[in-house]
Chains A and B, each alone.
Chain A
Amino acid sequence: MASARARGDSIFGGLTLVATALVLVVLAGIALATLIGGWPAFARFGAGFVSHTVWDPVQRDFGALVPIYGTIVTAVLSLLLAVPIAFGIAIFLTEVAPRRLVGPISAAIELLAGIPSIIYGMWGLFVFVPFMADWVDPWLTASLGRLPVLGVLFSGPPLGLGMLTAGIILGIMVVPFVAAVMRDVFTLVPSALRESAFALGATRWEVVWGVVLPYTRTAVVGGIFLGLGRALGETMAVTFVLGNAHDFNLSLLAPSTSIAAAIANEFTEADSATYLSALIALGFILFVVTFIVLVFAKLLLLRLARQAGR
C-alpha cells in the first residue's frame, strides 16, 4: 500500500517535471531558432548590426539600432506613466476607497487588461493621434522645445505619431497589469502592521510609504517588470501610432519603429534571404533584451530581499 502511494507520488512528481521541462525546451527552441535564422545577418553585419541605423532593403544593408532604440524608449516612457498611475489606483483601492467601490473598480481595471491591443491601436490612431497633433505636440514644442539640451527631445513637426504617443498608449495598456499586482500584494499586508502604525498616529501617506511599500516592494518591482515585459513586446498598438519609420531621431515627437512592429510590418514581403534573416535577428535581439530585463529584475529583487533581511 505504502509503495503504491509512493509510486503515485513519484509519477506525479515526474509529470510536473515534464511540464516544467517543456517550457524550458520551448524557450531554448525559440532562442535557438531565432539565433540560427538570424545568423546570416549577424555574420554579415557583425556587431555593427546593433549600432547601425541604416535599414535599406534595396541595398540589403540592415542595422537594428532604430528599432532597438524605439522599443526601449517607448517601453521606458510607458513605465514612467504607468507606474505612478498604477500605484495611485492600488493605494486608492486598498487604503482609501469605500468597500462597495472596490469591486466595480477592480472589475473595470481587469476589463481594461482584456481589451485587445488592436483596439488600443485604432483608438490611438483615430482619436489620440489627432489630439496629440493639434494640442499636445505644438504645446510641447513651444514650451519644453525651447529648453537648451532637453529641447531636442521635443522638436520637430507636430505629427501626433511618434515615440511619445506610442509611450502613452503603451502606458495605458500596462496600467492594469501593474495595478492588479500592486493591489493584490497591498491587500496581503497584515492588518496588525497597518493598524499599529495608525495607532502610533501615522498619516495614511506615512502608512503607505513606511509600512505597506517596504513590506511589498519585491512584489511591486516584480509587477513593474511584468508591465515592462509587455510594453517591450507589444506589436499591434505600437504599429498604429509609432509611425514605422527607420529614421534615427532623438525627438520624442518623431516617428520611429520598434522591433516587434518592424517584424510584423515587413515579414510578409521580405524578399531576400538577408532581409528575412535581419528580421529574424531582430526577433532574437528582442528575446535578448527581454531576457536582460528579467535578469536585472531578478537581481534587483535579490538585493531588495537581502536589504529587507537586515
Chain B
Amino acid sequence: MKRFTTALAAVLAAATLTVAPVRAQQVTGAGSTFVYPVLAAWSDAYAKKTGVKINYQSIGSGGGIAQIKAGTVTFGASDMPLEPARLAEAGLIQFPLIIGAVVPVVNLPGIDTGKIRLSGKLLADIFLGTVKTWNDPALAALNPGLALPALPISVVHRSDGSGTTFNFVDYLAKVSPDWRAKIGVGTSVSWPAGVGGKGNEGVAAYVQRLKGSIGYVEYAYVLQNKIPYAVLENAAGSFVAPSARSFQEAAASADWSKAQDFDLVMTNAPGAGAYPITATVFILMHRQSKEPAQTKQALDFFRWALGQGQEVASKLDYVPLPEPLVAQIEAYWQASLH
C-alpha cells in the first residue's frame, strides 16, 4: 500500500519534473525554490567558464529530498536540514550553501517600511490570531509615537508547503511557547488564522492587496516588490532591519562547530545585530555516489560557488557564508565523501 503511494507520488513528481537524460557534462539537482535564482545565475557563469552545465529544477524542498533519496538527481537542495540519523539512513551528506532570510511584510496605509516594530512573541500572537487589530495595546507599547490604524489584522501565510514557512514557524516556536504547544513546526502547519497564498509571489500579491495585512516572504521578494517590512526584535533585545549585514551576523553568531552534519536552523541567532529569521539552504548529496564523475563535478561546482561565485550571489541579494563556515564545509567534504 505504502509502496503504491510512493510509486504514485514518484510518477506525479516525475511528470512535473521531467528530468533531462543525464549526460557526462551535466549535473542535475532539484529542490528548494529559494535557491533557484542564484543557482541559475551560477550555473550560467559556471557553464561559460568550464562547459559543465548544472541543470536545477526548483520543485520545492520536499521534492528535492525525495528526489535525492530516490537517486534521480546528483544533488538535492532543502531549506531545512535533515537530522543526522535520517541522513545516515539514506546515505546522504549535507552542507549549507547560501544564506537568506524570511521577512515579515505589512500593508499599513501611512506607515513607511521599517517603521513598525515587532517582537517575536507578538509576531507569534498575530499569527495565532490572538492579537487581532493594529491598535492593540501590545503593539502600541512597542511602537510609541506611531499612529497605528484601527484596522483588523489580516494574516497571510503560504498555502503550499515551503521551506520559507519552515524557517518562519521554527522561529515562532523558539520565541513563543504557545506557538510550540498549539501549532508546532513543519513545512506546512495548521494555520489558526488568515488566508493562504501560493508561493512567495502569492503571499506578496495578497499582502499588497489586502489593507491591514501581514505576511512573510523571502528577503529577495521584499526588495523586488518594494513591500514595506516590519523590523524584528532579536534574541539580544535589539530591533534589526533585514540586510546583508544582519544576516551575516546571524550566520557568524550561530554555533556551527557543534552541529553534526550542519544540522542547525539558525533562526533566533544570539548575535547583537543578528537578524532573527535568517535561514540557510542545505545541499544534500549521496555519501557513496553511483555516478562518481557527476558527484565530483557537482562538488567542483559548489567549491567554485562558495568561492568565486559569491560575487554573482551578492548581486542577486543573497548573502555569502562566513569564511570559517566555508572552511568547515571543505573539511566536512574531505571527511565524509569517499
* Residues of chain A at the chain B interface (Cβ within 8 Å): 33, 36-37, 39-40, 54-59, 125-126, 129-130, 133, 157, 159-161, 239, 243-247, 255, 257, 261, 265-271, 273, 276-277, 280
The segment out of B192-200, B292-300, B317-325 that lies at the interface is B192-200
Chain A residues in 8 Å Cβ range of B189:
56-58
Q: Is the CB of B191 within 8 A of A58?
A: no
Q: Is the CB of B159 within 8 A of A269?
A: no
Across the interface, A159 reaches (CB within 8 A) one of B8, B60, B154, namely: B154
With CB as the reference atom, state the residue of chain B lying closest to A157. Answer: B152
A233 to B: closest C-beta gap in Å: 17
Q: Is the CB of B1 within 8 A of A39?
A: yes
Bound CA span A239–B8, Å: 23
Across the interface, B191 reaches (CB within 8 A) one of A246, A265, A270, namely: A246
Known: A244-B159, A277-B5. A271 touches B186 (CB 8 A): yes
Q: Is the CB of B210 within 8 A of A37?
A: no
With CB as the reference atom, state the residue of chain B lying closest to A62. Answer: B190
With CB as the reference atom, state the residue of chain A lying closest to B165. Answer: A269
Bound CA span A161–B13, Å: 30
Across the interface, B1 reaches (CB within 8 A) one of A36, A58, A130, A247, namely: A36
| Interface residues on chain B, size class | 35 or more
Bound CA span A54–B191, Å: 10
* Residues of chain B at the chain A interface (Cβ within 8 Å): 1-2, 4-6, 8-9, 12-13, 16, 59-63, 65, 152, 154, 159-162, 183-191, 193-198, 205-206, 209-211
Q: Is the CB of A271 within 8 A of B161?
A: yes
Q: Is the CB of B160 within 8 A of A266?
A: yes
Chain A residues in 8 Å Cβ range of B65:
271
Bound CA span A33–B7, Å: 11
Bound CA span A54–B59, Å: 27
Chain B residues in 8 Å Cβ range of A268:
13, 16, 59-60, 62-63, 160-161
Chain B residues in 8 Å Cβ range of A270:
9, 62, 161
Interface pairs A-B: 3 shortest CB-CB: A269-B161, A244-B196, A244-B159
Q: List 11 A-B contacts (CB under 8 A).
A: A37-B4, A56-B190, A57-B188, A58-B190, A59-B184, A245-B191, A246-B190, A257-B159, A265-B159, A266-B160, A266-B161
Chain B residues in 8 Å Cβ range of A125:
205, 209
Chain B residues in 8 Å Cβ range of A276:
5, 9
Apart from A57-B161, A245-B195, A261-B159, what are 14 other A-B pairs with CB-CB below 8 Å? A37-B5, A39-B1, A58-B185, A133-B211, A159-B195, A243-B195, A244-B196, A244-B197, A257-B159, A257-B196, A268-B59, A268-B63, A271-B62, A271-B187
Q: Is the CB of B62 within 8 A of A269?
A: yes
Chain A residues in 8 Å Cβ range of B209:
125-126, 129-130, 133, 160
A260 to B: closest C-beta gap in Å: 13
Bound CA span A268–B163, Å: 12
With CB as the reference atom, state the residue of chain A lying closest to B152. Answer: A157
Chain B residues in 8 Å Cβ range of A257:
159, 196
Chain B residues in 8 Å Cβ range of A239:
159, 198
Bound CA span A266–B91, Å: 27
A132 to B: closest C-beta gap in Å: 11
